[in-house]
């Protein structure tokens, strides 16, 4: 789809400087520009590229002052970075605006769906499923019996929603995610084998949640595993049964949260961090990568690092000292020898 510089300026409230009718149909970094591409300049470090870019249109700040001639058409705005981000969101929305039910998809006769549904090839929608308006379900996704999906939610290819999973509005679930598999519940028996504990709960995902590729969220033993509004989960995150993640929390890749742990609001968890079970984590807690969290966090808005975790400042001091441990050991050894020598002289 092609857009003129004038049309783009109208979308972002900008002023055209150059040919208003020049057309673009894709985006590119300013240093990698080509005819028909749209770029932006926000970081002064990239200013030299604007004089040599081949992009047809470049979005710049109103304050930008050219030092020599520029071949591209400029669109001047208050904030070039924010305006370009707005255009990317618009472009992404346009490119993902799929509608219609494929003849190769299956939807149970008991399922209910709103308007503008997209159901891709070999997608499966089970019994008594409820789908809102403008829901998009990509090929080979599985929506189990009794699931509910809210308006404007996108479920990408290969996602699996087990029975009775509830997903809110404006959510995005990326390929390969598995939501609602059984929690890891097994009772050891006297003869050494493990007896499976039925997992009869479900997973509830509130509005505006994004779930990364190949992330897994287990159904609860009873009640619900609950992901609150605005949570962002990276790829390869694992949340065990009965976990609760508070509003607007963000968990990076390969984080693992054991059963019945509750994270508060606005928590941030670095990659490869792990939580033991049955913890309560205070609002605003922040954990660096590879943290090992083994106890409750009661005070809000604290930062931590390490395994087991330490307050960030304490961790940094300890880590700095650890780098000198060989030198300290040599000094200690020398002191011990000196003490022994002094003792022998008396």
Q: What distance lies between CA 182 and its chain's CA centroid? A: 23
Final residue in a domain of this structure, among 45, 80, 95: 95
**Considering 71, 95, 119, which residue would you say is the last residue of a domain?**
95
Given a cut of 90, whether residue 324 has pLDDT beyond it is no
Same domain, 327 and 270: no
Question: Tell me, what's the pLDDT at 338?
Answer: 85
Q: What is the CATH number of the domain that holds 281?
A: 2.160.10.10
Same domain flag for 71 and 88:
yes
Average pLDDT over residues 113-125: 97
Q: What is the distance between the alpha carbons of residues 246 and 228, in angstroms, rounded to a whole number?
A: 5
The residue from 36, 71, 95 where one domain ends is 95
Average of pLDDT values for 186-207?
95
pLDDT at 322: 80
The span from the CA of 59 to the CA of 77, in Å, is 7
Return mean pLDDT, the chain.
95
- pLDDT (0 to 100) of residue 64: 96
For CA atoms 76, 81, 82, 84, give the dihedral sign: positive
Contact assessment for residue 219 and residue 201, using Cβ atoms and an 8 Å cutoff: yes
Q: Tell me the pLDDT tens digit for each residue of 183-192.
A: 999 999 999 9
Residue 140 and residue 204 share a domain: yes
Q: Which domain holds residue 331?
A: 316-345
Q: How far apart are CA 216 and CA 211, in angstroms?
A: 9
Known catalytic residues are: 241
Biggest CA-to-CA distance, the chain? 98
Model confidence at 218: pLDDT above 90 = yes
Looking at residue 202, its pLDDT comes to: 98
Sign of CA dihedral 265, 268, 279, 159: positive
| Distance separating alpha carbons of residues 112 and 148, to the nearest angstrom | 10
The mean per-residue pLDDT over the stretch 154-176 comes to: 98
Q: 137 and 87 in one domain?
A: no
In this structure, the answer to whether residues 234 and 270 fall within a common structural domain is yes
pLDDT of 329 = 86
What's the whole-number mean pLDDT along residues 314-335?
86
At 206 the pLDDT is 98
* Spatial CB neighbours of 187, under 8 Å, sequence gap ≥ 6: 194, 195, 197
Residue 321 has pLDDT above 90, yes or no: no
156 and 303 co-located in one domain? yes
Listed residue (12, 121, 18, 131) closest to 74, CA to CA? 18
Please report, for the domain that includes residue 10, its CATH number.
Answer: 3.40.1390.10
Q: 254 and 204: one domain?
A: yes
Residues 57 and 43 in one domain: yes
Token pair recorded at residue 302:
């604290």
Q: Does residue 99 surpass a pLDDT of 90?
A: no
State the pLDDT at residue 76: 97
SS3 state at 328 = helix
Q: Return the pLDDT at 90.
A: 85
Sign for the CA dihedral angle at 310, 313, 316, 318 comes to negative
205 shares a domain with 148? yes
Structural tokens at position 254: 């390969």
Task: Let me know whether 46 and 155 are in one domain.
Answer: no
Pairing of strands 23-24, 3-4: antiparallel
Same domain, 17 and 112: no
Looking at the structure of the chain, the number of domains it has is 3
User: Is residue 245 within 8 Å of 255, Cβ to Cβ?
Assistant: no
Residues 179, 257 within the same domain: yes
Confidence of residue 179 (pLDDT cuts 50, 70, 90): very high
């Amino acid at each position: 789809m092609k857009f003129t510089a004038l049309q783009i300026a109208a979308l972002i409230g900008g002023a055209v400087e150059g040919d208003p009718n020049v057309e673009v149909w894709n985006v590119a970094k300013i240093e990698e520009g080509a005819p028909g591409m749209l770029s932006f300049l926000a970081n002064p470090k990239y200013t030299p590229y604007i004089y040599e870019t081949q992009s047809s249109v470049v979005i710049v700040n109103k304050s930008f002052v050219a030092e020599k001639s520029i071949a591209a058409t400029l669109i001047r705005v208050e904030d070039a970075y924010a305006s370009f981000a707005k255009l990317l969101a618009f472009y992404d929305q346009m490119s993902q605006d799929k509608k219609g039910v494929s003849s190769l998809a299956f939807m149970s006769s008991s399922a209910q769906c709103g308007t503008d549904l997209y159901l891709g090839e070999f997608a499966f929608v089970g019994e008594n499923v409820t789908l809102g308006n403008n829901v998009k379900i990509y090929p080979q996704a599985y929506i189990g019996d009794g699931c509910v999906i809210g308006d404007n939610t996108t479920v990408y290819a290969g996602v699996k929603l087990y029975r009775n999973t509830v997903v809110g509005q404006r959510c995005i679930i990326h390929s390969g995610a598995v939501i609602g598999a059984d929690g890891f519940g097994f009772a050891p028996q006297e003869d050494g084998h493990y007896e499976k504990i039925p997992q009869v709960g479900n997973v509830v995902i509130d509005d505006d949640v994004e779930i990364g590729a190949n992330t897994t969220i287990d159904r609860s033993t009873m009640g619900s595993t609950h992901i609150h509004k605005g949570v962002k989960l990276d790829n390869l995150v694992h949340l065990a049964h009965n976990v609760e993640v508070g509003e607007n929390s963000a968990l990076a890749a390969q984080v693992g949260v054991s059963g019945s742990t509750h994270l508060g609001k606005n928590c941030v968890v670095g990659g490869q961090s792990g939580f033991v079970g049955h913890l309560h984590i205070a609002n605003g807690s922040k954990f660096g990568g590879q943290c090992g969290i083994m106890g409750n966090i009661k005070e809000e808005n604290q930062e931590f690092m390490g395994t087991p975790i330490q307050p960030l400042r304490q961790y940094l001091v300890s880590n700095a000292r650890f780098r000198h441990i060989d030198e300290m050991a040599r000094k200690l050894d020398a002191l011990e020898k000196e003490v022994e020598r002094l003792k022998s002289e008396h």
